[in-house]
């Protein structure tokens, strides 16, 4: 959308000739939950799709794709509909209507009260193209923030990439199956699988139904994990038999990847401050048939001290703004603010200043975020190294959204 180039969701070629009122109402109700009731988009869509089991796959795709598209282009659709800054039900109907109109639909009678003339729409499209924050549909503060750190060309490229639809990528559980064998299995379900030598455990899938309902998933043959995320565990250079600590494990996506790289040998201590996330990790580990994972709740500084100098490898996948994964969580850009980034920077610094105590001398650790901002990435690492001369930077790496997947930063650091 914008500058005459309008995003068209995948279903448009099938449904552009007709809009069904009950589906459009479901879209409006979902957007109301997200922007009026301030709920998370993924949870809202999950509840919306589950609310009417009579809907077929095409209707479900229509609702999910339309909601995510309008969330992604929330500011731009508001500008087109002349309701920017508003989030009441009437303005949401206007945004939805302008989205369909800009996407080439002929509006039915029950939407025509919100229709604008083609001349007005084209004028607003031209005006939006002249204002970068509106054109890329991001808050003003974020546009200004990125402009501080990146060239205009780089920032435009990354903003454009973050507005693209996220790819569906899985990681093969190599403890149970090889990638060629899993690819062959999935293709029996008419699922097209693409592979790349750059991501040896990843497969990019053509979207096809509910992967979590597949027997192959229930048998632990794969996990859904973006290719960018899959670069972090190998960056830690783990080996079978090591003692590894994943200190900000969450629900354990990278823990499971580490376990497969270690061939199920050695020990992984997965830690988090949220017990429910560790319970989810344990459930996933059972499905993946991984026995060498121990979970530990972080209850304070004593938890860290008890593990002093016990880890050959340490992963610090720290809390962050999540700007690198906006394409996967497009509502996050409307919930973020500069104050949150300042708070999360303090958390990152605190983790960097305390958790490396768990690393053995001579051991390696990775500091990682799913952000693209230097203030959360290189700047934090440089401050840590300046204050801790017994650590040295071995390597750092960016995975940019413009490369096709989620954005990540990682730094490999050695404790001397």
Q: Is 193 marked active-site?
A: no
Cα dist from 230 to 94, 227, 257, 391, whole Å: 40, 5, 8, 25
Give the single-character DSSP code of 248.
Answer: T
Where residue 137 falls (left for φ over 0; alpha for ψ -120 to 50; beta otherwise) is: left
What pairing do the DSSP bridges indicate for beta strands 311-317 and 243-246?
A: parallel
8 A C-beta contact, residue 361 and residue 382: no
Contacts of 96 (CB under 8 A, 6+ apart): 24, 27, 28, 31, 66, 70
Would you say how long the chain is, in residues? 416
- 63 closest CA partner among 163, 217, 54: 54
Catalytic residue among 193, 248, 320, 370: 370
Which SS3 state, helix, strand or coil, does residue 198 take? coil
| Coil, strand or helix at 105 | coil
CA dihedral for 52, 53, 56, 61, sign (positive or negative): positive
245 backbone dihedrals φ, ψ, rounded to 5°: -115, 125
The residues facing 359 across adjacent strands are 311
H/E element holding 14? helix 12-15
**Alpha carbons 408 and 185: distance in angstroms, whole number:** 30
Q: By C-alpha distance, which of 277, 281, 173, 170 is closest to 220?
A: 173
Cα dihedral across residues 320, 324, 327, 330: positive or negative = positive
State the Cα–Cα distance between residues 281 and 253, nearest whole angstrom.
8
Helices (H), strands (E): how many in the chain?
Answer: 19, 11
Rounded to whole angstroms, how far apart are CA atoms 143 and 396?
25
- Active-site residues: which are they? 370
């Amino acid at each position: 959308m914008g500058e005459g180039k309008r995003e068209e969701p995948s279903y448009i070629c099938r449904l552009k000739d007709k809009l069904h009122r009950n589906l459009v109402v479901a879209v409006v109700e979902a957007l109301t939950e997200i922007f009026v009731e301030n709920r998370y988009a993924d949870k809202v869509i999950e509840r919306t799709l589950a609310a009417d089991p009579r809907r077929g796959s095409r209707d479900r795709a229509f609702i999910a794709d339309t909601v995510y598209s309008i969330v992604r282009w929330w500011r731009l659709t508001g500008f087109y509909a002349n309701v920017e800054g508003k989030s009441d039900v009437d303005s949401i109907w206007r945004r939805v209507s302008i989205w369909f109109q800009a996407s080439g639909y002929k509006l039915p009678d029950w939407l025509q009260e919100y229709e604008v003339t083609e001349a007005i729409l084209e004028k607003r499209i031209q005006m939006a193209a002249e204002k970068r924050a509106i054109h890329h549909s991001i808050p003003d503060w974020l546009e200004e923030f990125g402009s501080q750190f990146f060239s205009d060309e780089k920032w435009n490229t990354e903003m454009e990439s973050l507005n693209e639809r996220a790819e569906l990528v899985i990681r093969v559980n190599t403890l149970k199956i090889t990638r060629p064998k899993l690819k062959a299995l999935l293709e029996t379900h008419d699922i097209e699988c693409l592979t790349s030598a750059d991501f040896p455990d990843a497969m990019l899938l053509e979207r096809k139904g509910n992967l979590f309902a597949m027997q192959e998933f229930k048998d632990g043959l794969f996990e859904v994990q973006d290719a960018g995320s899959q670069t972090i565990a190998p960056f830690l250079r783990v080996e079978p038999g090591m003692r590894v600590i994943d200190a900000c494990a969450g629900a354990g996506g990278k823990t499971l990847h580490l376990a497969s790289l270690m061939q199920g040998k050695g020990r992984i201590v997965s830690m988090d401050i949220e017990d429910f996330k560790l319970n989810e990790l344990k459930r996933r580990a059972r499905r993946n048939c991984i026995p060498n994972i121990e979970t530990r709740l972080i209850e304070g500084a004593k938890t860290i001290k008890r593990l002093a100098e016990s880890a050959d490898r340490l992963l610090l996948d720290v809390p962050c703004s999540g700007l690198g994964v906006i394409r996967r969580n497009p509502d996050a850009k409307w919930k973020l603010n500069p104050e949150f980034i300042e708070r999360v920077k303090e958390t990152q610094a605190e983790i960097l200043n305390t958790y490396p105590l768990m690393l053995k001398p001579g051991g390696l650790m990775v500091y990682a975020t799913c952000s693209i901002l230097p203030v959360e990435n290189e700047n934090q690492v440089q401050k840590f190294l300046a204050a801790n001369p017994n650590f040295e930077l071995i390597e750092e790496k960016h995975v940019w959204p413009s490369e096709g997947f989620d954005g990540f930063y990682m730094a490999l650091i050695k404790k001397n």
